[in-house]
Amino acid sequence: MFNKYNFLDSDVLIFDTKNDNYEVLLSYFSSYLTKEELKKIESYQILKDKICHLISYVIPKIELGKKLNINPKEIIIIRKDNERPYYKDYDYYYSISHSDTYVAFVLSNKNIAVDIETRQIRDLKALEYVASEDEIEETSDYDSKYQLWTFKEAYAKYTGKGIGRYLKDIKESNIDLLHQTIFINHLVITLIKEK
- Domain with 63, as residue range(s), is 2-193
Average pLDDT (70-96) is 92
DSSP string, the chain: -EEEEEETTEEEEEEE-TT--HHHHHHHHGGGS-HHHHHHHHT--SHHHHHHHHHHHHHHHHHHHHHHTS-GGG--EE--TTS--EESS---EEEEEEETTEEEEEEESS-EEEEEEE--S---TTHHHHS-HHHHHH--SHHHHHHHHHHHHHHHHHHT--S-GGGGG--GGG--SEEEEEEETTEEEEEEE--
pTM for the full predicted model: 0.92
Contact in structure between 192 and 113 (CB atoms under 8 Å): yes
Average pLDDT (80-102) is 92
pLDDT at 3: 92
Residue 123's pLDDT band (boundaries 50, 70, 90)? low
Is the CA virtual torsion 151, 144, 178, 53 positive or negative? positive
Distance of alpha carbon 139 from alpha carbon 79, whole angstroms: 35
Please check the confidence at residue 124 and state whether its pLDDT lies above 80. no
pLDDT in tens, 8-59: 999 999 999 999 999 999 999 999 999 999 999 999 999 999 999 999 999 9
Q: What mean pLDDT is reported for the chain?
A: 92
Please check the confidence at residue 136 and state whether its pLDDT lies above 90. no
Number of separate domains in the chain: 1
Percent of the chain residues past pLDDT 90, beyond the cut? 76
Torsion region of 185: left, alpha or beta (phi above 0 gives left; psi -120 to 50 gives alpha): left
Say which CATH number the domain at 165 has.
3.90.470.20
Please check the confidence at residue 156 and state whether its pLDDT lies above 80. yes
